[in-house]
Structure 1
């Protein structure tokens, strides 16, 4: 079936927020638990919601930890965030060619808006689904299903693109095709173990994929 719709994760997929996220976790954990956490401890926190991640640290202080994390994250946003190669041109091309394109992220809307403004990508997207819009985060299908509903698209004509297993599993749970990105902080082999339909070496590869799907 012809691909008409592309859904993208934001962090680590469209924009490089990895160092911002790691720094935000490190700052927060160092403030509350000095000397206890190192960089390698926070890598597994990339992808799950803040509530899920901080629940593994201290179930009784989750709200406190999230508040400090978000304060630092917003304050330091533009100092850390970078754009991945070919992302802007690819999203612009998809928009110009009339594809339905959306973002499905586990981030809060205010920080999502900052990232989209910084990267100049906001103008291209038809829908943006954040953690504030749903009861369940990826890999639950709800956020992807909501995006499809708003775009008036079916799973069969959609590819979900992301850098983490939540994106691949979420896409599969919602019935879409899936694409992983090799620039994932978790590594290419980790993502391939979840068997996405495609792996992108760079974002512009998606144009080749949807071109071949149409033939």
Structure 2
């Protein structure tokens, strides 16, 4: 029996780890510090989740973007462990995939050190052979660079890989890289939003991946 899918590439935030409240709090603190004259509602902050913060702050206040990035990262670093949460069933599903010898990687728009911190807090770091952070690529998702880098390091082909994420950047990056794609229904932006980008699969729990990869076996 051969496997059609051998390689699974994951986004981190909002996919494997519930960092939504940490990200929102970090944006709220940063925006209050640098744009005190404008109030941002929670709904106005949601579109900022997913793209690199350099892009978001560059659009909001380009002349102070670097200061905002530094402030944001300092806030995130200080409050990281207390505000991140576990998604039900993620640890068990990732462990099962690892124990079945699937190739597993992270492709994130967060810097490498912060990705590793989140993985370690949740006990997931031991399952991933490759971790690609924002500071390891020239161009972030939806550019396929990070996915292609992970595939090269894992010695895997496009045809045998799937990209899993909670944001349209993940789905588009997967399509741009020529791999299968899966959205997660627990995305803070909503399942319907992700479906408009036509992922190959929609996961309602991480355990759904096990059925998908097993069904793909020939």
TM-score range, shorter-chain basis? Answer: over 0.9
The 5 Å alignment of 1:1-215 reads: 2-34=4-36, 36=38, 37-215=40-218
SS at the partner of 1:199? strand
What is the aligned-residue RMSD (CA, Å)?
A: 0.9
Q: CA deviation at 1:83?
A: 0.9
What is the TM-score with the length of structure 2 in the denominator?
Answer: 0.97
Q: Distance in 1 between matches of 2:99 and 2:26?
A: 36
Please give the per-residue CA displacement for 1:27-82, whole angstroms capped at 9, x wherever unaligned: 01011222512222211101110111111211100000000000000100011100
SS at the partner of 2:214? helix
SS at the partner of 2:169? helix
Going from structure 1 to structure 2, the CA distance change for 1:63 and 1:142 (only over 3 Å counts) comes to: same
Q: Distance in 2 between matches of 1:35 and 1:59?
A: 17
SS at the partner of 2:162? strand
Q: CA deviation at 1:207?
A: 0.2
Q: Unaligned 5+ residue runs, structure 1?
A: none
Q: Unaligned 5+ residue runs, structure 2?
A: none
Q: Distance in 2 between matches of 1:109 and 1:72?
A: 17
Q: CA deviation at 1:190?
A: 0.3
What is the TM-score with the length of structure 1 in the denominator?
Answer: 0.98
SS at the partner of 1:73? helix
Please give the per-residue CA displacement for 1:70-117, whole angstroms capped at 9, x wherever unaligned: 000010001110011110001111111000000000001121121011
Q: Distance in 1 between matches of 2:125 and 2:150?
A: 16
Q: CA deviation at 1:192?
A: 0.2
